[in-house]
Amino acid sequence: AQKVTQAQTEISVVEKEDVTLDCVYETRDTTYYLFWYKQPPSGELVFLIRRNSFDEQNEISGRYSWNFQKSTSSFNFTITASQVVDSAVYFCALHSGAGSYQLTFGKGTKLSVIP
Amino acid sequence: NAGVTQTPKFQVLKTGQSMTLQCAQDMNHNSMYWYRQDPGMGLRLIYYSASEGTTDKGEVPNGYNVSRLNKREFSLRLESAAPSQTSVYFCASSEFGQLILYEQYFGPGTRLTVT
């Protein structure tokens, strides 16, 4: 069975603070993919990153960075110097199982950045 | 490119009424998906179509039917709407890969209320 846990339901930070969103996953497969999506107040889902289970290198994209640790089954997302435009719900998702098309989403973390 | 488009954006139905949600993508993706999003539940897969001519059940298929009309279009039908189907519905598409689930691109969503 696959499961994604985002324990933080809501987080509030003051603009320019750094914030980390936690994601813990469960799967028995050795090959799997992890994703992060952003859902701003407008409602659409925006793809942020995909990472496969064989690539544990951390990734940085501007103010965004991702820390993938297989030892703790975590794929955490950090926003540096947060901005009001970062306010959104962020979803972590897992795909595992060859031939499967199912993407398992966490319940999301709502981030509010206060000016 | 419009990406993934959905119609309608909003809909109110009475219990027992039927309707079809339309989805189209212009990215030449093979795979298409229908999700529902409920408060505090993340996204749950209703049905998917791995490729033109095939459809399969996801996590929550009861009460829904789908049609993959052609490579571009994937519709979701509610034959007899129930209040439990009040939700936001998202269509998504992705590249095809047996061992790799490529990132999914989402439409803007349809907000459905069943009274």
Contact A95 B101 (CB under 8 A): yes
Contact A47 B104 (CB under 8 A): yes
Q: Give the chain B residue nearest A30 (alpha carbons).
A: B99
Amino acid sitting at position A110:
K
- Beta bridge partner(s), residue B10: B111
Q: Give the chain B residue nearest A99 (alpha carbons).
A: B98
Per-residue pLDDT tens over the stretch A20-76:
999 999 999 888 999 999 999 999 999 999 998 888 888 888 999 999 999 999 999
Set of chain A residues whose Cβ sits within 8 Å of the Cβ of B58: 102
Predicted confidence (pLDDT) at residue B78 exceeds the cutoff of 80: yes
Residue in the block written with tokens 């544990």: A56
**DSSP annotation of B103:** P
* pLDDT at site B102: 81
Helices (H) and strands (E) in chain A, counts: 0, 12
Query: Which two three-digit tokens encode residue A24?
Result: 């813990």
Using pLDDT thresholds of 50, 70 and 90, give the confidence band for residue B45: very high
Helix (H, G, I), strand (E, B) or coil at A55: coil
In angstroms, rounded to a whole number, what is the distance separating the alpha carbons of residues A86 and B3? 23
* pLDDT at site B98: 59
Using pLDDT thresholds of 50, 70 and 90, give the confidence band for residue B100: low
Range picked from A49-58, A103-112, B34-43, B100-109 for highest mean pLDDT:
A103-112
Helix (H) or strand (E) holding B104: none
Query: Which two three-digit tokens encode residue A62?
Result: 């501007």
A81 and A13 Cβ atoms separated by less than 8 Å? no
Q: Which residues of B touch A (CB under 8 A)?
A: 31, 33, 40-45, 48, 50, 56, 58-59, 88, 90, 92, 98-109
Q: How far is B14 from chain A (nearest CA, A)?
A: 24
Size of interface A-B (CB pairs under 8 A): 55
Helix (H, G, I), strand (E, B) or coil at A1: coil
Q: How far is B17 from chain A (nearest CA, A)?
A: 26
Predicted confidence (pLDDT) at residue B43 exceeds the cutoff of 70: yes
B53 and B70 Cβ atoms separated by less than 8 Å? no
Using pLDDT thresholds of 50, 70 and 90, give the confidence band for residue B47: very high
* pLDDT at site A80: 96
* pLDDT at site A21: 98
Q: Give the chain B residue nearest A8 (alpha carbons).
A: B40
**DSSP annotation of A62:** T
